[in-house]
């Protein structure tokens, strides 16, 4: 089974970016742990700071992956184009992920325009949010 993680803007700076909110682990180090935990799953990572590149990646994921874990960063809150792309690749399941508890932060972070297009959302568990999303996708695929 193949799963694609897509990380949006500024998530390439995990480890040094606002560590009090996002922690000190880099995505590369975290990914090693994730791959060890889900040894039977092939996990690819794609990161882009550009909306169009994220949309292109979503388009190419259909047929190539069993599911996508998407942290769209700030695009979460206003990108109708990414929400449309998620719907456009249906039935590919896309799980929305956030490291921080966006519901407990600024008002503008409480709205996700992509959530209604996603299979589900996992929010606020730190980097473990990605674990939980991969687990959800693998368990559903096994049903
Ligand atoms: C984030 C939350 C977003 O509001 C923010 O813009 C990010 C990271 C998170 O993982 O907590 O870039 O998606």
CATH number at residue 138: 3.40.50.9100
Side by side, the strands of the sheet bearing 2-7 are 42-47, 2-7, 67-71, 94-98, 120-123
77 is catalytic: no
What does the DSSP assignment read for 106-134?
-GGGG--SSGGGSSEEEESSTTHHHHHHH
CB 9, CB 46: distance < 8 Å: no
What separation in Å is there between the alpha carbon of 120 and the centre of ligand 1? 16
Along the 143 residues of the chain, how does pLDDT read in single tens digits? 999 999 999 999 999 999 999 999 999 999 999 999 999 999 999 999 999 999 999 999 999 999 999 999 999 999 999 999 999 999 999 999 999 999 999 999 999 999 999 999 999 999 999 999 999 999 998 87
Closest CA to 131 of 66, 46, 43, 60: 43
CB 93, CB 3: distance < 8 Å: no
Domain that holds residue 86: 2-142
Is pTM, for the whole model, over 0.95? Answer: yes
Catalytic residue among 46, 75, 98, 130: 98
131 contact partners, CB below 8 Å, separation of at least 6:
34, 37, 125
**Ligand 1 proximal residues by C-beta, below 6 Å:** 10, 71, 73-74, 76, 98-100, 102, 109
What separation in Å is there between the alpha carbon of 80 and the centre of ligand 1? 16
Q: Tokens standing for 2?
A: 């193949």
- CA angle centred on 53, ends 37 and 80, rounded to 5°: 95
What is the end-to-end Cα distance of the chain in Å, rounded?
Answer: 14
pLDDT at 143: 74
Domain count, the chain: 1
- Quote the strand ranges of the chain, DSSP E: 2-7, 42-47, 67-71, 94-98, 120-123
């Amino acid at each position: 089974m193949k799963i694609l993680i897509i990380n949006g803007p500024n998530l390439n700076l995990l480890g040094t970016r606002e560590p009090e909110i996002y922690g000190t682990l880099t995505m590369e180090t975290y990914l090693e742990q994730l791959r060890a935990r889900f040894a039977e799953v092939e996990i690819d990572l794609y990161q882009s700071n550009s909306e169009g590149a994220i949309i292109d990646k979503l388009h190419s994921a259909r047929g190539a992956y069993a599911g996508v874990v998407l942290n769209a960063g700030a695009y979460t809150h206003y990108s109708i184009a990414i929400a449309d792309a998620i719907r456009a690749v249906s039935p590919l399941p896309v799980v929305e992920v956030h490291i921080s508890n966006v519901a407990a932060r600024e008002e503008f972070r409480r709205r996700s325009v992509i959530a209604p297009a996603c299979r589900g959302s996992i929010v606020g568990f730190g980097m473990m949010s990605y674990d939980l999303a991969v687990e959800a996708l693998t368990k559903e695929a096994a049903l």
